[in-house]
């Protein structure tokens, strides 16, 4: 019998028309599309015996919500197949819709798991200076007035280890509210402002809540002080609103021995 091996995929997708990453009955999801394509390529008997056989199951590093995009999502699965890792991606891509792309496929170490092995994840959130039909699927135009300088200053309070309860939300699997934020910066991009943040893990809606809070405090005299106080309060009611998912993209995932 062919021995089971572990495979790693780097995946990009436009999340606009998906009900998020996670497989859901009767709904179009990224995980569902990948599993369908891979099982068409590998066959339903490719799953390793330790999973009970049957269809291949794909695990993602980040369970992105409906409308959220990715350019560096990482997925893993185990399968019994003679195909080399680099060949599986192009074969599955022929069976995927246009809004999902396997950027890279490769064989991984036997114990690799896209979510459990991750050491950090990096997201970007793009905002528009004005409505733009060319970028409206991937960036959000905020209705409220804000200060760009205030956005930059608010982010200086974020790097470090924090209890992020005030910028989390209910609705996901239990996870420690204490996050190590490696970096968090606001900078200009060609159509507006971009928030770039990396952490060891994120709470549900955390990036979208951080963006909403930054907008909320940007016109304060001391945006960094206000942001720090909101984090310290650990009260969701003290933070800003949850902004639209359309500006959010999972840009990359870092693993042991890899540079972030």
Among this protein's residues, is 200 annotated catalytic? no
Residue 251 tokens, joined: 């840009």
CA–CA dist 214, 23 (Å, integer): 32
Residues annotated as binding site? 123
CA–CA dist 98, 160 (Å, integer): 39
Kindly write down the DSSP assignment for every residue of 183-245, as one continuous string. Answer: EEEEEEETTEEEEEEEES---TTHHHHHHHHHHHHTTSS-HHHHHHHHHHHT-GGGS-PPPPG
Cβ pair 159, 182 in contact under 8 A: yes
Q: Given the residues 17, 45, 65, 129, select the one marked as catalytic.
A: 65
Please calculate the CA angle 55-56-57 and round it to the nearest 5 degrees. 115
Spell out the long-range contacts of 61-64 with Cβ–Cβ below 8 A and sequence spacing 24 or more: 61/114, 61/115, 61/118, 61/121, 61/250, 61/253, 62/21, 62/115, 62/121, 62/250, 62/253, 63/20, 63/21, 63/22, 63/172, 64/15, 64/20, 64/21, 64/30, 64/248, 64/250
Residue 250 tokens, joined: 């999972």
Residues annotated as binding site for substrate? 123
Q: Within 13 A of 97's CA, how many CA atoms are on the CB side?
A: 14
Give the active site residues. Answer: 65
């Amino acid at each position: 019998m062919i021995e089971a091996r572990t495979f790693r995929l780097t995946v990009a997708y436009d999340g606009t028309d998906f009900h998020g990453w996670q497989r859901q009955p009767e709904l179009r999801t990224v995980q569902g599309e990948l599993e369908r394509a891979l099982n068409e390529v590998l066959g339903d008997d490719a799953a390793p015996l330790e999973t009970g056989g049957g269809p291949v199951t794909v695990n993602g590093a980040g369970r992105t919500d409906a409308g959220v995009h990715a350019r560096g999502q990482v997925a893993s699965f185990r399968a019994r197949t003679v195909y080399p890792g680099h060949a599986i991606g192009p074969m599955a891509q022929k069976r995927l819709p246009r809004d999902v792309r396997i950027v890279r496929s490769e064989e991984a170490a036997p114990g690799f798991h896209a979510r459990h092995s991750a050491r950090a994840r990096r997201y970007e959130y793009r905002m528009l200076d004005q409505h733009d039909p060319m970028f409206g699927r991937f960036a959000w135009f905020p209705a409220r007035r804000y200060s760009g300088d205030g956005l930059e200053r608010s982010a200086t309070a974020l790097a470090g280890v924090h209890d992020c309860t005030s910028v989390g939300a209910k609705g996901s699997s239990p996870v420690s509210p204490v996050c190590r934020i490696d970096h968090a910066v606001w900078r200009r991009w060609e159509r507006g402002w971009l928030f770039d943040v990396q952490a060891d893990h994120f709470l549900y809606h955390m990036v979208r809540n951080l963006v909403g809070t930054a907008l909320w405090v940007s016109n304060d005299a001391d945006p960094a002080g206000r942001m720090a106080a909101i984090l310290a309060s650990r009260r969701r009611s003290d933070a800003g609103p949850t902004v639209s998912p359309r500006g959010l993209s999972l840009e990359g995932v870092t693993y042991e021995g890899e540079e972030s």
